[in-house]
Amino acid sequence: MPEKKKSAPTATKKDDNKGGEYSANQITVLEGLEAVRKRPGMYIGSTGPRGLHHMIWEVVDNSFDEAMAGHCDTITLRLLPDHWISVTDNGRGIPVDIHPKKKISALELVMTQLHAGGKFGDGGYKVSGGLHGVGVSVVNALSTDVIATVYRDDKEWVQEYKLGKPKEKVKAIGKAKGTGTTIAFRADASIFETIDYNWKTIIEHLRQQAYLTKGVRLIIKDERTDEEKEVDTSSSKMKGTSYQFYFEGGIASYIKHINKNREPKHENVFYVEKQVEHIAVEVALQYTADYQESLFAFANNITNPDGGTHVAGFRGALTRTLNSYARKKGILKEKDANLSGEDVREGLTAIISVKIPDPQFEGQTKSKLGNPDVKAAVETTFGEALEIFMEENPKDAEAIVGKCLLAARARNAARIARESVLRKGALEGFTLPGKLADCSSRKAADSELYIVEGDSAGGSAKQGRDRHTQAILPLRGKVLNVERARLDKILTNNELKSLIIAMGTNIGEMFEIEKLRYHRIIIMTDADVDGAHIRTLLLTLFFRYFPELIAAGHIFIAQPPLYSIKNGKDMKWFYNEEVLGKYLEKQGISSSDLEVAEENEGDEAGEAEEAPTAKSKEKKGKSKINIQRYKGLGEMNPEQLWETTMNPENRLLKRVTIDDAEKASEVFDILMGSEVPPRKKFIQTHAKSVKNLDI
């Protein structure tokens, strides 16, 4: 996030500023790349892992720009020892001749000056992901060392930089065959929180980029030392030190990749690619048996999570074309209402990719496209192509329209259920569920809703909470798996109905985030398999039906302690086994010296102190240590639950975020969907990485 601007400094009485007036002496001008090093968050988003990886994307995007311009077909990324990154392409190579106005090499200009590049005037790039020419110069500014190597004019040109400044002029060091550019950089550890790259993050991001630029071969190599790879905990989940991506089918292949764990409703993937004046339009779609829509929009390979004009054009053409086809074929009768936008989006997997010379984005994050002419281009191109596709593929068309009609019937059933459940409740004063122990505060920003598992934990939480700001909603049993249910089923489920009414936002097209009654919704379940399952079911609900709450940072997971240790009169709580092990090691006690007592799962709140606890083997000079393993929240009395899990001064909360919506959707499909083989494969793949599984 960009840092807030500091207020003007308060002047002190000095000879050059008598009287404390605000004068030119107080104005600081940051030259060149100094501004980037001073405020890195303004240019790469953050100095955490996301900002670190953004450095790679900035360099790789330049290579993809060459590919989109038709000058590059191979890009190679290498992760090198000592935190070096190298990106090579076989494009035209950055120009090295002297710039007529700046009187320095064009390479040095691009590497050291903000807003310098081939993306502003004519003749450089007709289409590019970068808009402001700050990409590679920002990488240079935030790196300790950069080496730029250019192959063009039958020569190999090199310039090295230290902290953004050139060490010497651009020079030719030998002959070269072909053309291209290599940018090698090492991020500055004094600026970033970590400079350890995540192999899995890199693979998944660049795979997506390869899908969006069909016909480009992308090679990724991990040449780091074994010690450096050990720091990257995700590498074990995505094994291999070399990957190659090449997708001739482009986004049509991407659709198949996204739907690989879903049941498609029709065999052929719809795909169209067309140039409309200066706008290149590419659309692919396929319907599945799912109930949710998976739509991904891109402009110049930049993801647009908030959509924009290209999405508006797509949705308008989709609804109009499907209704027209259904009417023409007599599937929709005169008395039947038209299919709505919501009906035709159920189970839809779609990718919209446009490439335009001058994209206009809303906001710094480029989350929404604003070009008005793109809407008409997508609407015309997609609508005409979809009509032809359905005429040429009648079986696919029948399956698509049938899916939409089924969705329409379910929508009507859901509307009736919603009216009887929520609108009726609103007319009667919106009665809150009886099991909810509400807080006294009416300020949503100060209020928290704890969703707890069972009456036992609910009893402890209600007694131990801060009644002013903390509300408690106990759920009985395992809630409905919404991955396999439509909205009408959700609204007839008592547990989920209570949760929806308690939150106050409503659901579906009536959802209003402004009416959220609690700004922190905290899932608090037991630390066992059942608790994890309930937590996953609730996360599925929030991800599928309340993604806005996740995006706004309102969903949290409580972290109750796994162990307590009483050493004499001193009581300590431990939230994971690693910290416990370090503590025992300091006490000179090995795990073999201990037998851990576990509470009976049926114990009521408040009985934990009376339950038997294990004693360590007594050693000379050592005090007696009692260790307790907690599986259920109900095993802790109200005071313990408050002190360890609910007290804002002591507790640990995990905020639920979605860094990659496509990957998150895929995981929910695997774990919560109806297809068994993908889930079985997932369990077999990840079984060895699970530690201390309680059954």
> CA-to-CA distance for 505 and 555, rounded, in angstroms?
14
pLDDT band at 685 (very low <50, low <70, confident <90, very high): low
> CA-to-CA distance for 539 and 541, rounded, in angstroms?
5
Return the pLDDT at 628. 83
Residue type at 411? R
Instruction: With a cut of 60, say whether residue 238 has pLDDT above it.
Output: no
pLDDT band at 606 (very low <50, low <70, confident <90, very high): very low
String of DSSP letters for 620-660: TT---EEEEE---GGGS-HHHHIIIII-TTT--EEE---S-
> CA-to-CA distance for 5 and 2, rounded, in angstroms?
9
Return the pLDDT at 632. 76
String of DSSP letters for 439-497: -S---GGG-EEEEEEHHHHHHHHHHHS-TTTEEEEEE-SPPP-GGG--HHHHHT-HHHH
pLDDT band at 35 (very low <50, low <70, confident <90, very high): confident
Q: Are residues 105 and 198 in the same domain?
A: yes
Q: Look up 528 and say whether it is catalytic.
A: yes
Q: What is the pLDDT of residues 91-108, one digit of tens each?
A: 999 999 988 888 899 999
Instruction: With a cut of 50, say whether residue 173 has pLDDT above it.
Output: yes
Could you tell me the residue range of the domain that residue 603 belongs to?
A: 563-631
Return the pLDDT at 611. 36
CATH number at residue 174: 3.30.565.10
Mean pLDDT of 333-353: 93
Q: What is the pLDDT of residues 534-547, one digit of tens each?
A: 888 999 899 889 99
* Token pair belonging to 586: 């300091």
Residue 9 lies in a domain: no
Residue type at 242? S
Q: Are residues 580 and 538 in the same domain?
A: no
Q: Are residues 339 and 231 in the same domain?
A: no
Return the pLDDT at 615. 44
Return the pLDDT at 419. 67
Instruction: With a cut of 70, say whether residue 210 has pLDDT above it.
Output: yes
Helix (H) or strand (E) holding 44: helix 41-44
Q: Look up 526 and say whether it is catalytic.
A: yes
- Write down which residue in 373, 397, 412 finishes a domain: 412
Q: Look up 530 and say whether it is catalytic.
A: yes
The reply to whether 526 sits in an annotated binding site is yes
Q: Tell me what percent of the residues of the chain surpass a pLDDT of 90.
A: 48
Residue 421 lies in a domain: no
Q: Are residues 394 and 475 in the same domain?
A: no
Return the pLDDT at 255. 96
Instruction: With a cut of 90, say whether residue 241 has pLDDT above it.
Output: no
Return the pLDDT at 626. 79
Residue 672 lies in a domain: no
Of residues 376 and 613, which shows the higher confidence score? Answer: 376
Q: Are residues 95 and 200 in the same domain?
A: yes
C-alpha closest to that of 305 among 3, 538, 547, 512: 547
Q: Are residues 404 and 294 in the same domain?
A: yes
> CA-to-CA distance for 287 and 297, rounded, in angstroms?
17
Backbone dihedral region for residue 164 (phi beyond 0: left; psi -120 to 50: alpha; all else: beta) = left
* Contact call for residues 606 and 638 (beta carbons, < 8 A): yes
Task: Give the torsion sign (CA, 476, 477, 481, 485).
Answer: negative
Return the pLDDT at 129. 54
* Residue 1, C-beta contacts closer than 8 angstroms, at least 6 positions apart: 41, 45, 46
Q: Are residues 162 and 289 in the same domain?
A: no
- Write down which residue in 245, 261, 292 finishes a domain: 245
Return the pLDDT at 589. 73
Surface-to-core class of residue 399, CB atoms within 10 Å of its CB (0-12 exposed, 13-18 middle, 19+ buried): middle
* Residue 650, C-beta contacts closer than 8 angstroms, at least 6 positions apart: 643, 644
Instruction: Say how many residues make up the chain.
Output: 695
CATH number at residue 488: 3.40.50.670
Return the pLDDT at 678. 73
Residue in the structure block whose two tokens are 């993801």: 303
Q: Are residues 339 and 463 in the same domain?
A: no
For the entire predicted model, the pTM comes to 0.70
Q: Are residues 568 and 555 in the same domain?
A: no
Q: Are residues 289 and 357 in the same domain?
A: yes
Please tell me the least confidently modeled range out of 356-365, 447-456, 553-562: 356-365
Instruction: With a cut of 90, say whether residue 228 has pLDDT above it.
Output: no
Q: What is the pLDDT of residues 611-637, one digit of tens each?
A: 334 444 444 445 567 788 887 787 788
Residue 679 lies in a domain: no
C-alpha closest to that of 456 among 557, 559, 525: 525
Residue 612 lies in a domain: yes
Return the pLDDT at 421. 54
* Token pair belonging to 500: 């929806």
Question: With b meaning 16 or more CB within 10 Å and e meaning fewer, what string describes 465-480?
Answer: beeebbbbbbbeeebb
Residue 111 lies in a domain: yes
Structural domains in the chain (count): 4
Catalytic residue among 530, 603, 662, 675: 530
Catalytic residue among 373, 455, 528, 660: 528
Catalytic residue among 228, 453, 483, 495: 453
Q: Are residues 439 and 509 in the same domain?
A: yes
Q: What is the pLDDT of residues 276-289, one digit of tens each?
A: 989 999 999 999 99
Instruction: With a cut of 60, say whether residue 596 has pLDDT above it.
Output: no
> CA-to-CA distance for 393 and 91, rounded, in angstroms?
40
pLDDT band at 366 (very low <50, low <70, confident <90, very high): confident
pLDDT band at 233 (very low <50, low <70, confident <90, very high): low
Instruction: With a cut of 50, say whether residue 49 has pLDDT above it.
Output: yes
Residue in the structure block whose two tokens are 């030719």: 172
The reply to whether 273 sits in an annotated binding site is no
Residue 371 lies in a domain: yes
* Residue 445, C-beta contacts closer than 8 angstroms, at least 6 positions apart: 519
Q: What's the mean per-residue pLDDT of the chain?
A: 82
Residue 357 lies in a domain: yes
Q: What is the pLDDT of residues 300-310, one digit of tens each?
A: 888 898 899 99
Residue 229 C-beta-side C-alpha neighbours within 13 Å: 16
Backbone dihedral region for residue 433 (phi beyond 0: left; psi -120 to 50: alpha; all else: beta) = beta
* Residue 215, C-beta contacts closer than 8 angstroms, at least 6 positions apart: 73, 246, 247, 248, 250
CA distances from 43 to 38, 107, 208, 694 (A): 11, 21, 23, 45
Task: Give the torsion sign (CA, 299, 303, 304, 307).
Answer: positive
Q: Are residues 188 and 290 in the same domain?
A: no
* Residue 440, C-beta contacts closer than 8 angstroms, at least 6 positions apart: 467, 468
Q: Look up 483 and say whether it is catalytic.
A: no
Residue type at 139? V
Return the pLDDT at 623. 53
The reply to whether 228 sits in an annotated binding site is no
Task: Give the torsion sign (CA, 205, 208, 213, 214).
Answer: positive
| Dihedral angle, C-alpha 451, 454, 456, 462, nearest 10 ° | 30
> CA-to-CA distance for 209 and 205, rounded, in angstroms?
7
3-state secondary structure of 266: coil
CATH number at residue 359: 3.30.230.10
Helix (H) or strand (E) holding 256: helix 251-258
Instruction: With a cut of 90, say whether residue 180 has pLDDT above it.
Output: yes
End-to-end CA separation in angstroms for the chain: 42
